[in-house]
Amino acid sequence: MTRTHIVALGGSLLRPEEAEKRQQWLGQLRQLIVHVEGNGGKLGIVVGGGLPAREGIELAKNIISDSEKLDEVGIAATRLNATILQQIFLDIGCNVAPSIPTTTGEASKLIDSYSIVVMGGTTPGHTTDAVAIALARDCGARNCVIATNVDYVYDKDPREHDDANPMFDISIDRLAEITGTEPLSPGQSAVVDPVAVGWARDASIDIAVLDGRDISLLDNALEGKEFSGTLIRSV
């Protein structure tokens, strides 16, 4: 049976500070896609909004207070980033879905016909982490990789606590204790979106959180090899 992998790709990964690193990272991601496709695998990529989402939400926030409307601004940014990756993969002749699906149901149908499907957000009230979990559920995948810009989930916020410890293998309930279960406000960030944590628990989906700045970690996780990062078990 063809293996379907689902990856949430943090939007910040698309735009490292140094321009040189951007090209390098995109090149390595492109190689990974070719590799997955070459091995007969299928890949659903859910891309975050990163800088354009933050900028757009900040700009609109001065005028709009309705959080659903601000979320729509964020969703538009995630689809911009999804389109950038989709076009890059199309350009090298990968078997990529030609549209950016707006629901996980639509995306899971596209995965039946294409090797690669790239999408962004869906509806207000969560981030693309939650979309990736929903896509894993809809595709019948048992796990989901969250590639972000931190190396591990820590027991407390490492930006505020010098004594924060990385965690390697934890239960979904432990993750829920750390993230809470309340939805984030538009543009707010957390190591894993609390809504995603709840959905993963409901659908019994394991999560791998890893540092997506290093594409080799993502490669290892997709190949089922050992990887540096935090494994979160739902069952």
Indicate whether 50 belongs to the interface with ligand UTP (CB under 6 A): yes
Q: What is the smallest separation between the CB atom of 75 and ligand UTP, expressed in angstroms?
A: 5
Indicate whether 183 belongs to the interface with ligand UTP (CB under 6 A): no
Paired residues of 230 in beta bridges = 209
Indicate whether 139 belongs to the interface with ligand UTP (CB under 6 A): no
- Which residue is at the shortest CB distance from ligand UTP? 74
Going by C-alpha positions, the residue among 133, 39, 36, 116 that lies closest to residue 82 is 116
- Minimum CB distance to ligand UTP smaller for 10 or for 198: 10
Indicate whether 121 belongs to the interface with ligand UTP (CB under 6 A): yes
Size of the site for ligand UTP (CB under 6 A): 24
Helix axes 50-61, 67-91, angle to 10 degrees: 150
Structure tokens at 32: 């990974």
Tell me the per-residue interface mask from 71 to 110 with ligand UTP, x by CB under 6 A, - otherwise. Answer: x--xx--x--------------------------------
Place of tokens 């050992």: 226
Q: What is the smallest separation between the CB atom of 17 and ligand UTP, expressed in angstroms?
A: 14
Residue 76 burial (10 A CB sphere; 0-12, 13-18, 19+): middle
In angstroms, rounded to a whole number, what is the distance separating the alpha carbons of residues 34 and 174?
36
Indicate whether 11 belongs to the interface with ligand UTP (CB under 6 A): yes
Which residue from 100, 131, 150, 208 is in contact with ligand UTP, where contact means CB under 6 A?
Answer: 131
Going by C-alpha positions, the residue among 234, 67, 61, 32 that lies closest to residue 147 is 32
Q: Say which DSSP state 45 is in.
A: E
| Helix, strand counts (H, E) of the chain | 8, 9
Indicate whether 234 belongs to the interface with ligand UTP (CB under 6 A): no
Indicate whether 44 belongs to the interface with ligand UTP (CB under 6 A): no
Binding site for ligand UTP (CB under 6 A): 10-12, 48-50, 53, 71, 74-75, 78, 121-129, 131, 186-187, 189
